[in-house]
Structure 1
């Protein structure tokens, strides 16, 4: 008998009515949900006042200029309130625009921030005020593309997460150029602590070198709140060439989980800077041999590092492939807490140049790691990567394996790392594993699946290459006629080659370089350029300059102090630039007593300056002036200066002055590489107040080898913080004083390597 017959208390007809009513309730709610298409900021403000759970605001396609969006509303878990684009990617927020979320269960998607910068401290903030936060809210498929304050040292964050239980996913962040964190988790106030935020499936595209502190890609917390737990999860993100500073992710809080992320060719490390009890699990670090690529840096208590894969990392010291730090006894909250109870297991360390243990040991950082274990890890390399900086008796190595000889290592390492023949093969997931199944217990497991770049970010926004290569465009032929060269510069596209035919060019305008351009002589040294303005080339934002085969002569230049062949934009630059010169001649820059070749302005930063196979002669001023950041905040003007196979003859000023002041240790540069050059009667002019041929202050890496100095001033190097590496070797010093290296911070003898420099009096 059916349970729904006429004799039962619930008749079939009643059940039918109840069923229909249950369908009607959600259907009614769905009917009541409104979609509001708005075409102006005024319409947006009107709609915002009447939003109900389930409603949507849709921004009409187009460019919204100077739109400070406050998205304040209260949805529910089942009926969030949404703000989205009419078409994903076609709503552009530009000028002085930003977004603030406040309330409950909000969702934002489909917007693009570009061509401007935030009028506040954040582009996207999960709060309206200190007391009006967003909770249970989501920002997804939003793009922030080169949306930077034009002052590179004016700091702002692109995204700041406040409140609790918020999600940031499938977003595209690329080209953060000014100071400030790309994504910051803020713990100020109890309502933002124990937050359980989730940051996942985002594409963190290339972030250029900042050249100072303040260039992290993600930071969780700050020093004052570092003993507070955050419970933030960062997973399945792709970090593509995130080079801002030494810390890619800076963890400054406790109980966070960072897992299943890929770090691709990114300079720096995932740093457990402050806070305890964090878990670093199943991440993949692929350095690809790029300089200063690093892995994981361990500080503080109770950190767990397991099942991570690290390959081809070249970094050293604080930026090494794997680092366990020394701490400061009774450390202040903003210094270095001792490593205690770290668990490092089942990680693969493949072809790392450096693993640093008890790193940073000095007169302050004397607290060695304690009660920590490294077990069942796999170490693969042609030689041992370990550097031991202090007592490591508090690190216990248990059942680890390597393919290099461990007999000469510290006893603890030798006993805890078994050396054996290991053949590695690349698996379907792209990672290397031992081909012997008996070794499967060592290192990361084969089930590791690195997130693919194409599976992160907004699927509708292209992941374009940020750098345009020299000589990648069209060739523009010019002749030595009036304004032909000036017009070519004006109409050229980025990547183009301006090919100069034989002749004498008299340039009456400053050539503004705001794109990637190459000036090349059709026949080397047959195109001769003179210029009538205080400078010939001014590198501006988006500008990169290459010179090839030219002769540049200063006889037509005005008699005014401070002339230069090349200078950067006077009022600072936002974008990093590149300068390259080869097979060229620069001569007769001597119409006054201070005619320079290359003069950087302050707040300008070169990724690389490369000069090779060129000749400089009869110059009254300096060649490279990279010394404008004198506020001693760890800021500097160039990451790399490379001089190779050049001749410098009768130069009164300094060949290169490079300055990086202050005590900050968050950067890798500057780097100065001077090899196989000839210096003849150089840097002895009365206006050279440094008394140096090369004057290097705070440079982190200097290599000066196989040069010939004749009747020239000495090399002067001043070491500051960061354990700078200086090598001055195999140079000929003819009537030239020996190099002078001074330690301004480290106690004891200077640490530079100075050897096999042959002095001779002629």
Structure 2
């Protein structure tokens, strides 16, 4: 029998428990849309609304209110890194002095045109608001060209800082400052200490990481400060940052292995100072591109940048006389001073000079810069008369050719290497300026957030487990079904590996023959394709033979095909030491067949044979809208044999005249093309057709008894090298439809040639 010590009313007990709980709970804790909306409706200056830990799906936040500078209205995560917005979620804010902190967007995409918007309607904008320590991680729709922004700034005096944005793969700017209304111009926004993570090649216009303004409002001033942000492998298009308004300031930003440039596309009186560019020798890494009037480019550090033309280390453009808003305004009254360029490939002036862009730079100066390249040689190129630029006090190291004698001094340069990786040229005004700006330099440690892991967004092969398989039916299919990213599926014996099901690749996998086999394993298949590369997938194939003998007697078979639907992820394909034979059971049998809105970062064929194929080996031609979109960034063919190929052995197409992208780039070396292109279904009548490619290298190759090699190079100023190659058996070169006369004999192109189309072939056109 229990003894009752005291009697406490039940309601009092519940009230006491509620009090105890509330004392330990965060201020204004909410855990549902209804609770959040109620808290927003009642929010007063100084209130803190805390979103409880958890995952919120299809969660659209509309946060409005009026705080003060001393007492903003805050929306914060209960714990940073533990509040996730997924599915079709977004954030819109408007009002005065609103502060948002600690949210993570992942596993979904915005239902509107913006993930984070500094407005809730066209009329309701943000002023004096701040978003800090938020994350947007691979928050993309499934359609590659479904366009959206991740962040859009409107209003005035807003700040976006210490955020982490990574993995944008669809069309649209990562962060845009919008100037469409008077209430968003002369905004004095501050964008600082953000980490902009990897952005893969888009293969189209609209792949900028940051854009301020548009051509429609480029004559307006934005007065935005972009300070101490880190740009990591931002490769979406040629403009990493696209400045399209006036009086903006870019300072202290770091660009790491990013292919493209900080571009003053439109707008006047822009300042670019104390920024740091580290190319590390990566192709197409660029620096600063100058267009328009009264630009100031000072105290910047640029090292090992490999880009040329629009993406050279320092580019000064030619303009269009009386230019419309969306073209190129002449460079006038601008200066590039006290910059340090170390081991860069190109400084180019008057870039874009053509019949339209004929307005040369005027009343501008390039002075007190340090140009150092250990290998010496030619750094500077001019595409027009540059007498409108004054050169003074520039230093070059011995062996490096100055642009001209006046304004350049050749002398030995000593450097001090700092822990940051920056090399300070001693006893120079430029070196002193770089040293003074080091404290502004963005690093991975002082940007982004500390509580969320940095995501590796590039696709890699290897690093997984080895799965050994024997010959037999569907053994490869079974191994792939049970694999993980980076696994290696090793074929342990010679014999036939028959697949009655297509091997579906949703992550990178390697299929390779075991070492020491006396014969190559033979891959046969009965479906339309052997391998299907789906979104997120990638394929390495090594040491095998692919035979078409088991395929069904119907057209349009392929050994490898991409998803039939838009792929938001770029893929990689590597074929090495393989044989492909007798892919001829019906017409148009390809080795690779791609679909529209798919993009390969790289396709590499090495040490392989392709024989008796009714279709094409590589048909990268599905982007037929001719608006600058294409299917592969890098195509590399080395030491391969192509024999008896019915249609084009290699077909690469990029149509239109858009200059925003960097590719395609094609390299064909040490390879033989024999009896190529004779099938009546070969629509182009070529053995190899390269349409709109930006870089072409053909070296040490043989073209015999084949249809012409066709070059249709209409975009930009493509670099073309055809050297040490033999054209025989009636094979010719056609340039933009005009034949180059090979006289029907063997032609060894050891010297540069000029095709009938007037384009020099066999030399680097950027020189």
| Correspondence 1:118 to 2:118 | no
Q: Which moved more, 1:441-450 or 1:604-613?
A: 441-450
Answer yes or no: is 1:295 the counterpart of 2:284.
no
Q: Work out the number of aligned pairs and report it.
A: 718
Give the alignment's TM-score, normalised by structure 2: 0.91
For 1:448, which of 434, 437, 455 is the aligned residue? 437
Query: 1:747–1:367: structure 2 CA closer, same or farther, 3 Å change rule?
Result: farther
Structure 2 residue matching 1:132: 3-state secondary structure: coil
Q: Alpha-carbon deviations, 1:281-326, whole Å to 9, x = none? A: 1000111110011100011111111111011111110111001111
Q: 2:99 aligns with which of 101, 107, 118?
A: 107
Are the equivalent residues in 1 in contact too, given 2:735–2:757 (CA < 8 A)? no
**Do the aligned partners of residues 104 and 289 (structure 1) sit closer, same or farther apart at CA in structure 2, a change above 3 Å counting?**
same
Partner of 1:233: 225
Over 3 Å counting, the alpha-carbon distance change for 1:704 and 1:384 in structure 2 is: closer
Q: CA shift at 1:36, angstroms?
A: 1.8
Q: 1:303 to 1:440 in 2, by over 3 A?
A: closer
SS in 1 for 2:668: strand
**Contact 2:475 2:497 (C-alpha < 8 Å) held by counterparts:** no
Please tell me whether residue 66 in structure 1 is matched to residue 55 in structure 2. Answer: no
For the pair 1:741 / 2:735, whether they are aligned, the reply is yes
| Alignment partner, residue 32 of structure 2 | 40
C-alpha contact (below 8 Å) 2:477/2:504 kept by paired residues: no
Q: Is the aligned partner of 1:149 residue 2:141?
A: yes
Look up the SS of the partner of 1:454 in the other structure: coil
1:208 and 2:188 equivalent? no
Superposed CA offset, 1:393-417 (max 9, x none): 11111111111457x755xx31101
TM-score by length of 1: 0.92
Tell me the distance in 2 between the aligned counterparts of 1:442 and 1:529. 60
1:611 and 2:605 matched = yes
Q: What is the aligned counterpart of 2:557 among 559, 563, 574?
A: 563
Is 1:591 the equivalent of 2:585?
A: yes
Whole-Å separation in 1 of the counterparts to 2:547 and 2:762 = 37
Contact 1:377 1:443 in 2 (8 A): no
The answer to whether 1:466 aligns with 2:447 is no
CA contact (8 A) 1:705 1:728 kept: yes
1:254 matched to 2:243? The reply is no
The structural deviation recorded for 1:469 is 2.3
Shift of residue 479, structure 1, vs aligned partner = 1.4
Equivalent runs, 1:339-350 vs 2, <5 Å: 339-350=331-342
Partner of 2:709: 715
Q: Is contact 1:348–1:444 with CA below 8 Å preserved after alignment?
A: no
State the Cα deviation string for residues 79-107 of structure 1 (Å, max 9, x = none): 11111111111111111111100111111
Q: Give the structure 1 partner of residue 749 of structure 2.
A: none
Instruction: Check whether the contact 1:384–1:404 (CA below 8 A) recurs between aligned residues.
Output: no
Q: Which has the higher mean CA deviation after the structures are superposed, 490-499 or 472-481?
A: 472-481
Are 1:490 and 2:510 an aligned pair? no
Q: Which moved more, 1:165-174 or 1:585-594?
A: 585-594
Report the Cα distance in structure 2 between the residues aligned to 1:429 and 1:240, rounded to whole angstroms: 16
Any gaps of 5 or more consecutive residues in structure 1?
A: 1-30, 756-762
Cα distance in 2 between the residues matched to 1:623 and 1:560: 18
Per-residue deviation, 1:473: 0.9
**Contact 1:400 / 1:442 at 8 angstroms: preserved in 2?**
no
Are 1:709 and 1:736, in contact at CA under 8 Å, matched by a contact in 2? no
Report whether the alignment pairs 1:753 with 2:761. Answer: yes
Mind listing any 5+ residue stretches in structure 2 that lack a counterpart?
A: 1-22, 739-753
1:4 corresponding residue in structure 2: none
Structure 1 residue 273 corresponds to structure 2 residue 262: no
> What residue number does 1:8 align with?
none
How much has 1:663 moved relative to structure 2? 1.1
- Please identify, of 669-678 and 460-469, the stretch whose mean Cα deviation from structure 2 is larger: 460-469
Indicate whether 1:388 and 2:382 are aligned.
yes
CA contact (8 A) 2:710 2:737 kept: no
SS of the equivalent of 1:127 reads coil
Q: Is 1:430 aligned to 2:438, yes or no?
A: no
Contact 2:370 2:430 in 1 (8 A): no
| Between 686-695 and 216-225, the greater mean CA deviation after superposition | 686-695
Distance 1:441-1:54 versus aligned 2 partners, 3 A rule: closer
| Cα displacement string for residues 137-181 of structure 1 (whole angstroms, at most 9, x for unaligned residues) | 111111001111211111111000000010000000101100100
Determine which of 118, 128, 131 is the counterpart of 2:123.
131
- Counterpart of 2:634? 640
Deviation at 1:357, TM superposition (A): 0.9
**1:171 counterpart (163, 178, 181):** 163
RMSD: 1.9
**Cα deviation, residue 431, structure 1:** 1.4
1:13-71 per-position Cα deviation (integer Å, ceiling 9, x unaligned)? xxxxxxxxxxxxxxxxxx9x993211111221222211111112211212111111111
Give me the whole-angstrom Cα distance separating, in 2, the residues matched to 1:598 and 1:747: 31
Q: Distance in 1 between matches of 2:364 and 2:728?
A: 55
Q: What's the counterpart of residue 318 of structure 1?
A: 310
Counterpart position of 1:695: 689
How has the CA–CA distance of structure 1 residues 430 and 708 changed in structure 2, closer, same or farther, with 3 Å as cutoff? same
Secondary structure at 2:125 match in 1: strand
CA contact (8 A) 2:424 2:431 kept: no
SS in 2 for 1:650: strand
SS at structure 2 position matched to 1:680? strand
Cα distance in structure 2, aligned partners of 1:121 and 1:752: 45
Q: Would you say 1:352 and 2:344 are equivalent positions?
A: yes
Compute the displacement of 1:748 (Å).
Answer: 8.8
Q: Does the aligned pair in 1 maintain the 2:707–2:732 contact within 8 Å?
A: no
CA distance in 2, matches of 1:75, 1:632: 50
Q: How far does the alpha carbon of each residue in 1:216-256 deviate from its partner, in whole angstroms, 9 at most, with x for none?
A: 00000011111111110000100000000000111111111
Give SS of 1:557's match. coil
1:400 paired residue among 394, 401, 404: 394
Tell me the SS of whatever aligns to 1:530. Answer: strand
> Does the CA-based 8 Å contact 1:65-1:93 persist in structure 2?
yes
Distance 1:441 1:615, change over 3 A: closer
Q: Which residue of 2 aligns with 1:578?
A: 572
Does the 8 Å contact 2:240/2:262 carry over to 1? yes
Please state how far the C-alpha of 1:650 moved relative to its aligned partner: 1.6
Which SS does the other structure have where 1:35 is aligned? coil
Residue 224 (str. 1) matches residue 213 (str. 2): no
Alpha-carbon separation, structure 1, partners of 2:567 and 2:448: 28
Q: Is 2:532 the counterpart of 1:538?
A: yes
Once the two structures are TM-superposed, the CA of residue 430 in structure 1 deviates from its matched residue by: 2.1
- C-alpha separation in 2, matches of 1:38 and 1:441: 54
Q: Report the alpha carbon displacement of residue 484 of structure 1 after superposing the two structures with TM.
A: 2.8
- What is the SS of the residue equivalent to 1:608? strand
Q: Matched residue of 2:553: which SS?
A: coil
Mapped partners of 1:442, 1:469: distance in 2:
39
* Residues 140 and 169, structure 1, Cα contact 8 Å, conserved in 2: yes
Residue-by-residue CA offset, 1:713-740 (whole Å, 9 max, x unaligned):
2201111121112222211223142211
User: How many angstroms apart in 1 are the aligned matches of 2:570 and 2:430?
Assistant: 46
Alpha-carbon shift at residue 440 of structure 1 (Å): 4.6
| Greater shift in the superposed pair: 240-249 or 674-683 | 674-683
Q: Is the 8 A contact 2:474 2:497 kept in 1?
A: no
Match of 2:658 among 664, 677, 697: 664
Deviations 1:405-458 (A, max 9, x none): 57x755xx31101111223342344212234x3x35567432332322121101
Equivalent-residue separation in structure 1 for 2:474 and 2:282 (angstroms): 42
Q: Distance in 2 between matches of 1:537 and 1:749?
A: 40
Does 2:505 correspond to 1:505? no
SS at match of 1:178: coil
Distance 1:242 1:371 in 2: 33
SS in 2 for 1:148: coil
Maintained 8 Å contact 1:98/1:119: yes
Stretch of structure 1 that moved more, 533-542 or 703-712: 703-712
